[in-house]
Amino acid sequence: MWAGGAYGYLLDYLVLCGLVVSLLVHTWCFFKLFPREKHHKTGLVLGNMLVMLAMLGVVALAMETHIRFTMVATDSFGVSLPARRWFALNTKLNSLGCRDKEWSAEKPPGVTRIAFVGDSFTYGWGIKRTADRFPDLIQARFDARAPGTVEILNVAKPGWNTGDELQPTTDMIERYGVDEVVLCYVPNDIEGLIPTTDDFNPTRPPEPVLFNPDSFCLLDYLYRRVYLPRLPTVRGFDDWLAEGYADETIWRAHQKQLFAIKRVCDQHDVRLRVALLPFIKTGGEKLHLDKLFALLERLLDVNGFEYADLLPSITGVPSGDLVVNASDAHPNEEANRRFAEALWQAFYASRKPK
């Protein structure tokens, strides 16, 4: 009854309500019973303080109530109560843990299967309707052009990087007979190779230690909106990634991960395409998407990868128009629409899939 869940720890919320009610009662009693005529200055100071505290208490309780019970919104890390509630309400996973329908092991005759393999960008983090994700928008275009001839499988999980995507790619080829793989590459796909320490781990921001987030949702909201963005582990994430790409040992290891996926596709005569998906927002001083994508394109060119650079599809558009919300830098519906259009023109507009 009092355990945390979709609405946090309810007993703690009732205690907070009791404190605010007690503050209001004490404020009322003060103005009714305190002998202000005898202690005018003291009464004025105490009265003003009580009124201010009572007003702040009411505002805090109202915000706590909203965040705890009605707010449904993702954040970049997906750990806050409103974010967990968003995922509970808006995502449905298949038996393999992917946000897609169940796939039949036997490919329907005459159908070309395309697996879009990626992370949270491909998964549709913050996108309510799966139909608004870029793989689904491409599916809709195929359905409009030649219904029933192409089936797109969304093989994506938040947090996956290139190393994690090798086995799912292999499984899609060997178990589901896909004809084509679109590797949806995001700049943080290298992060699994970059060393972290207990004191500096940009992939996992520190949780609050002075309070339970499910007990005080307003404090947790302020912690994530005001405090976390100022921490070096969060503020320095993009620079940390840039340093990983600049490290020759890490960069070579990352290339091997990409080559391993290509090798699996080549061995099974499966077409591999790479979609270079940009961050919508970047920070720090070292990560420059144009230079990074130029580096990636040289690698893909030299090694015979077919790819599409999606950075031009969002260039010049204010980032605020392309992100899910102010606390979540994942691409929104408009960004997904632009990605889908760019991929369609690059891969599918002028020829049918294999």
In terms of pLDDT, which residue wins out, 176 or 26? 176
Of 174-178, 204-208, 245-249, the range with the lowest mean pLDDT is: 204-208
Q: Which residues pair with 271 in a beta bridge?
A: 180
* Claim to verify: residue 60 and residue 188 sit in the same structural domain: no
Domain extent at residue 50: 10-70
CA-based Rg of the chain, rounded to a whole angstrom? 26
* Claim to verify: residue 131 and residue 249 sit in the same structural domain: yes
Give the per-residue pLDDT at 112: 97
Number of neighbours of residue 291 by Cβ within 10 angstroms: 12
Residues 328-344 have pLDDT tens digits of 999 999 999 999 999 99
pTM score: 0.92
In terms of pLDDT, which residue wins out, 37 or 89? 89
CATH number of 334's domain: 3.40.50.1110
Give the per-residue pLDDT at 199: 83
* Claim to verify: residue 63 and residue 100 sit in the same structural domain: no
The torsion defined by the Cα of 164, 167, 171 and 172, in degrees rounded to 10, comes to 40
For the cut 50, the answer to whether the pLDDT of residue 353 exceeds it is: no
Residues 288-299 have pLDDT tens digits of 999 999 999 999
* Claim to verify: residue 170 and residue 308 sit in the same structural domain: yes
CA-to-CA distance for 298 and 251, rounded, in angstroms?
A: 13
Give the per-residue pLDDT at 34: 74
* Residue 255, domain member (yes or no): yes
For the cut 70, the answer to whether the pLDDT of residue 249 exceeds it is: yes
* Claim to verify: residue 160 and residue 127 sit in the same structural domain: yes
Confidence tier at 1 by pLDDT (50, 70, 90): very low
Number of domains within the chain: 2
Residues 101-114 have pLDDT tens digits of 999 999 999 999 99
